[in-house]
Amino acid sequence: MAKRKPHVDVVMIGLGWTSSMMGMELTDEGLNVLALERGPDQDTVPDFAYPKMADELTYAVRYQLMQRPAKSTVTVRHGVRDMAVPYRSLGSFLPGNGVGGAGTHWNGHTWRPQPQELRLKSYVEENFGADIIPDEMTIQDFGVSYDELEPHFDFFEKVAGISGKAGNLNGETQQGGNPFEGWRSSEYPLPPMPRTLNDTMFRDVASAQGLHPFPMPAGNASEAYTNPYGMQLAPCNYCGFCERFGCLNYSKSSPQTCVLGALKRRDNFSYRTNCEVMKVELAEDGKTATGVTYIDENGDEVFQPADLVIMGAYSLHNVHLLLLSGIGKPYDPISGEGVVGKNYAYQMNGGATLYFKDKAFNPFIGAGANGEVLNDFGVEQIDFAKEGFIGGSYFNAAMTNGQPIRNMPLPGGAPQWGAEWKEAVQETYGHTMTIGSHGSNMAYRDCCLDLDPTYTDDHGRPLMRMTFNWKANDVRMTQFMKDKIDTLSQALEPDDYKLSFKDFESQYDVRPYQTTHNVGGAIMGSDPSTSVLNRYLQSWDVHNVFVMGASAFPQNIQYNPTGLVGGLTYWAAKAIREQYLKNPGPLVQA
């Protein structure tokens, strides 16, 4: 028999970026808000304190801040006829654990999507015709426009204290920024980060080729900053321990540095850690949620009644919980019926490693979002009909770290072990830079999430099953990028370079790290027969459940997802505050 806790107005599942921001918005309304976080509590000091955080082995190799697969994982298979097996060793993607979630261990690349990406299907149909969309590709529009989201992107960037340079202020092109970006109502809150050698080399070569490089929009503070909540960031010191680490210096935008200190002061906010939500409970008619059941830190089952449920867990867990709770119709990739689990997508990336005998890059002077980038080959720039694919990428020449275990790029032909390997490392350490392409990933009929029929988690619940593989359209996209990056690499005149891009032989491999941008599965849209959530991130089926996060993306954008996740969260919060609380019920009639 579950223990029953006193009623709260709002229960939020997870306490990362989205719940932190939603917590501010809903406590502003006077609501009594509770967050349930599966992992431990953590804060800059003592948990991310200098110097213990500067430990590559513990945090970057042994994943101290990540969820343990023994506690929580997915099974993975390439196709609907394959048997899925558990993702037992972290590799391809790294869901974060504890308060702050993945928002503590990210690099800080903070992008808005292009306006075209939010209405991708319509954009393709209008400009190139519906018939260029392959049969198996299931791309959709988000159901919300860039113009609607702009104020919320703007506010999120101010909350997160993003360093960057605008390229389009209210429609006017700005020198030094991204000339292709959607309009912004204001400049970035902080100037771009100081440049490193790789940045300037890439900028010079790209400019000479007529391209338009600009500094990466960074969730790493270039200067001391105070955000609209009064929360503060310190100038990034380029310590080189960013991704996979909590920031030791109050410099990386995170729930801890940007929101939680302000939220925790509010008497109508509380949170409980080591509390894992098992299920969202529904009323008898299945039309509203009554609260959530969770396992508390003592292992006891607890029912937490609430009027409003905000799902703010990692994208994969949001989908898993929807499936376990029976909210929305599960997606069936064979029939194409159902919605929950539909359109799981990832990110198509590639890159070049360039070796320069006579250049010292000092990679240990690095920051997560340090980098010079360009957007000349973005989704909105490419003639899909001519090039034969749908999608796009941004390029980045980044210098994030010089950590000794994982960051030892060697020139082609260098031995992999022994005295000669050592010699090669001594010769090349600090002499390489990279150019990456970070690209979109379309949605496909058979790329999806559902409950695994075989494997269960430590609570006996079915694990979620991921069915995913690379598709020809996206490989053509990345091969196009390979050609462009090859040209740029040669122009930089390295002594040696190598390219690493997916090809038509590539199968999705969960072992090497690729990106923690798992999107879709609880997608937003305009039609309840093809989406889980309406345009306000509200469940079509259970109106007092709102689902935050990148699980709402109908396919993946070419950018890192956090900027869009932030904008969507404030957009949903506005709808809850201004519409839902006054008149609880579906905000869009099906």
Partner 1 sequence: MMHRIGFIALAGLGLMSTAGTALAAASADHSQDEVARGEYLSRAGDCVACHTAPGGKPFAGGLEIDSPFGTIVSTNITPDPEAGIGDYSRDEFAAALREGERADGANLYPAMPYTAYAKLSDDDIDALYAYFMQGVAPVDEAPAESDIGFPFDQRWGIGLWNWLFADTEAFEPREGQDAQITRGAYLVQGLGHCGSCHTPRGLFFQEKAQDDDDEAFLAGASLGGWWAPNLRGGGEGDAGLQGWRQEAIVEYLATGRNDHDAVVGEMTSVVANSTSHLTDDDLQAIAAYLKSLPREADGEEKQSDTTPAQTERVLTAADVEADAGARLYLDNCNACHFANGEGAAKVFPSLVGNELVNADDPTGLLHVILEGARLPSTPAKPEALAMPGFAWRLSDTEAAELATFVRGAWGNHGDAVSADQVAEVRETLPEDRETSAPDFEP
- Catalytic residue set: 517
Q: Is the CB of residue 365 less than 8 Å from the CB of residue 546?
A: no
Compare residues 317 and 543 and give the one whose CB is closer to partner 1.
543
**Residues within window 168-227 making contact with partner 1, judged by CB under 8 A:** 223-224, 226
**Span interacting with partner 1, options 50-58, 194-202, 397-405, 438-446, rule CB under 8 A:** 50-58
Least distance in Å: CB of 22 to partner 1?
15
Residues 6+ apart with CB under 8 A from 175: none
Helices (H), ranges, 338-438: 384-387, 418-428
Compare residues 58 and 515 and give the one whose CB is closer to partner 1.
58
Member of 248, 327, 369, 547 binding partner 1 (CB under 8 A):
248
Give CA–CA dist 548/565, Å, rounded: 7
Give CA–CA dist 186/224, Å, rounded: 19
E strand segments, 113-255: 168-169, 172-173, 214-215, 225-226, 232-233
Build a one-symbol-per-residue string for 568-587: x at contacts with partner 1 by CB under 8 A, - elsewhere.
Answer: -------------x--x---
Build a one-symbol-per-residue string for 53-72: x at contacts with partner 1 by CB under 8 A, - elsewhere.
Answer: --x--x-----x--------
Give CA–CA dist 106/102, Å, rounded: 6
Is 362 among the residues that bind partner 1 (CB under 8 A)?
A: no
Member of 264, 287, 406, 511 binding partner 1 (CB under 8 A):
264
**Residues within window 267-326 making contact with partner 1, judged by CB under 8 A:** 268, 307-308
Q: Would you call 76 helix, strand, or coil by DSSP? A: strand
Residues 6+ apart with CB under 8 A from 422: none
**Span interacting with partner 1, options 114-122, 184-192, 234-242, 457-465, rule CB under 8 A:** 234-242
Least distance in Å: CB of 225 to partner 1?
9
Least distance in Å: CB of 484 to partner 1?
38
Q: Would you call 575 helix, strand, or coil by DSSP? A: helix
Least distance in Å: CB of 268 to partner 1?
7
Give CA–CA dist 71/88, Å, rounded: 10
Measured in Å, how far apart are the chain's first and last C-alpha atoms? 37
Build a one-symbol-per-residue string for 525-564: x at contacts with partner 1 by CB under 8 A, - elsewhere.
Answer: ----------------------------------------
Compare residues 112 and 252 and give the one whose CB is closer to partner 1.
252
Is 249 among the residues that bind partner 1 (CB under 8 A)?
A: yes
Compare residues 50 and 183 and give the one whose CB is closer to partner 1.
50
Query: Dihedral sign, CA of 357, 55, 69, 18?
Result: negative
DSSP 413-469: T--SSHHHHHHHHHHHTT-EEEEEEEE-B--BTT-EEEEEEEEE-TTSPEEEEEE--
**What residues make contact with partner 1 under the rule CB under 8 A?**
7, 9, 29-32, 44-47, 49-52, 55, 58, 64, 223-224, 226, 229-235, 237, 239, 248-250, 257, 261-262, 264-265, 268, 307-308, 581, 584
